[in-house]
Structure formats: structure tokens, C-alpha cells
Structure 1
Amino acid sequence: MAPLMAAAPTASRCGADHEVTAFPVSWDPFSSASQQPEPPLISDEFKANWNQHKWDPNVSHIASGYIYNSPSNKKVRADVTSDSGFASSLFDYTDVSSEGLVSNTLYNLEPCIAAPPQLWQGYVNPTFPLFSTDILVTSNAVFGGIVKDQFNGKVASWSIMYGGSIPVTVYLDACNTLVGWDSFINGSRTRIITRFFNIVVGKLDSKYFCFPTQA
């Protein structure tokens, strides 16, 4: 029997207003019709609120803010709020080092919003990967089943090796929209969980990624 194809977002599944509806019964691992579905294309271009928790043996860091994820611009912008401060971080995936580090610009206001802005530029392991529409297909993703997420309800989980080295579990709603991801870095024993909500899907204008060149 041929593998069951994962359905792409359609009006009948998602609705005109992109509301989440049911997943196919064949995605139920305990259904007699269950089979590994083919990895779908995802609705990846979006802006949204986000929550993230990153921890390792030395630190536990919880942050929230607003994100702009744009494969068409090859950039991710993450605005973050913290105690007495604001920051905006731009990851430029058009500029990646030979070691796989991504160009990052951090615009920071602390310890208060009246403080002079600080600007940092360098190359980093990104805490916000850029997810392209075909990333699950090109990564030959493994279906992890339907799970209940505390923020988004029932979501489909898919496992990949991001960049060929970092294990990532990607979560999609029934419209194949990216709603969150989990990952870990074994060497540093770092765990990162990220969730998106209040998601607006659609191509993003380049104006969202204009950053100062100096503070």
C-alpha cells in the first residue's frame, strides 16, 4: 500500500479564517488505518507572540515577546521583554559562517528604556532557527504522532535534525502552521522549548527587518 500523503492546508481543513480543525484519522497511531504520513509543506511565513524557556545545569531563562519568521527575506526577528529592559534580535540567514553560525544583531535597552541603546553584532548559534516551507520534506522528517500541547491543543509532531546536527521536534496545527518547537544540545545539556500564539500567517514586508548599523 502506498504511503498516505499529509494533506496540505485547504479551506475544508482550515477554514477561510485559518481555524484549526481535525487531523486525519490515519494520523492516530492506534488506528487500524495508521501509517507514517509523508512530511508536509508548512505555512512558515508568519508573525506571532512567543514564549521560550531555555535551561541547562547553570541557567534557567524564560522569555516572551514577538517574532517575525520570514524565509522569503531569509531573516528572523525576535523582540523580547525582560525585567526593566527591551531588546530586538535579528538573525540574518543570508550571512552564515563556515562553522554554521548565523549573523546576529542585538539592539538592547537596559536597565531601563531611558538608557542609551546598546548594539551588538556577531555570529551565534541561533535560538530562533529559520524554518522554510519544505524543511520537513528536505529533512526527511519522522512523524511523532498527535500530541496535546498546553498552548495549542492537539498538534502534529515531527522530528528532524536541524542543520544535520541539532535534534528538533516541530509542532504543526491541522493547517500545517508552525506553532512551536523543542530542541536540545547534548554537549551543554541545554534544552529549549518555544511556543507561538496569536499567529498571523502571510508574507512579511522587508521593513520588519530594518535595523540600525550603529547605536
Structure 2
Amino acid sequence: MVEQAEPLASDTTRCTYEEFGALFFRAAVTPERILGAVDGIAGEPIDFGPMGVGPGRIAQVTAKGQIGEATATQLPGTPITYKLVIPVDLDFTINLQVEKERFHASVEVPLIVTAHATPDLRIVVDVTPPNPDELKLDLAADGLRAGLLGRIANVDGELRRFVAKYVARELEKPHIVATRNIDVGVSIDVAWAGMAPRRSIEDVASAR
């Protein structure tokens, strides 16, 4: 659940520039907008392999899956920071040359997302790349033998490293990065221009 910030003390009709800036950031950097900065990867497929795992890398892993929609929780303090969790579902197969074993993995990828202000009136959202050790992974095997093979081949660790690297790479694609850089100055110019009165031809003529 998102923690609500305490209201700033100010006059009912006026506030300081510092108060305005803090209020503006609270209104601008909402969970929905933060999620919008990474939701471009939701629904993207994951497809990798064959990849060698285990002793001698003899076993080959092939996996297919999909990235789900993230959830956000605001962390206390400043700068404004959220913890995002991105779910990933994977179905994969270990090929031991003579036989194949099938598994399913539910993975949760945690991200720390922080909003910063810049002197040129931008809001820049930084995303800390996921650490493989921080991923939560629920591994299910089809049968006792498959579970044993998973432990022998260290599938858990290999999947953590691959998924963390894959999500980090997706988050650095140009169209995703662009959503994390908001030019507030341009928005102000557009809003101000829209409010400015337009002088008609008759007004201009009468003023001469």
C-alpha cells in the first residue's frame, strides 16, 4: 500500500516555491506514472536457449515465458522512491541428451525506482538494475526425478542470472528509457500558451 505523505504547512492560498516544488512532485510522481515507466515491457516474451548448465555444461536448458505487469509500493523518505515487482512466468526443459525433464518457474523481479529533479526542469526516473540474488523464484518440477535434476544442474541460479539480465536489458531499450525522462518545461510552455488570450484582427487594427 502506498504511504501517503503528510500535508505541507502553508497558507490556504499561498505557499513558498519550495513547498510548491514538493507538492508538484507528490502530484506528478504517482504509482500509476511510475508503473508507466516500466509497463512497456509487460507482455513481452522471454525465449532463450539452449543454454548449458550444470557440471561440464552438458545439460541444455531451453525456456519460454512472458513478463507480467508490475506492482509498486512507495518507500518512505526522499527522494521519492518506489519498489516495483515484475512477475515473470517461465516454462523450460532440461535436455540431458538421452531424456528431457520439464519445469515451471514463477519469478518476481524487484526494482528500485527513484524520481529526481534536474536544473533544466525535467523529472528523471532512475531504475536500479535487478540483482540476481534478490529475485524470488518458485521452481516446480514435473516429478521427483525432475526435481533432483533441477538441483544437480543448478537451474535456480542460472534462471535468476538470465532473467535479471534480460529484464535489465529490456528496461534500457530506447522507447522504455524515453518514458523515464519527462520535460516539465515543455509542458509549462504548452499550458501557458494555451491560456494566453488570442488577439483578433479587429483588436490589432483598433490598437493602431
- TM-score normalised by the chain length of structure 1: 0.31
Q: Give the structure with the larger strand fraction.
A: 1
User: Where is the helix percentage greater, Structure 1 or Structure 2?
Assistant: 2
Larger Rg: 2
| Larger relative contact order (Cα-Cα within 8 Å, sequence gap ≥ 6) | 1
TM-score, length of structure 2 as denominator length: 0.31
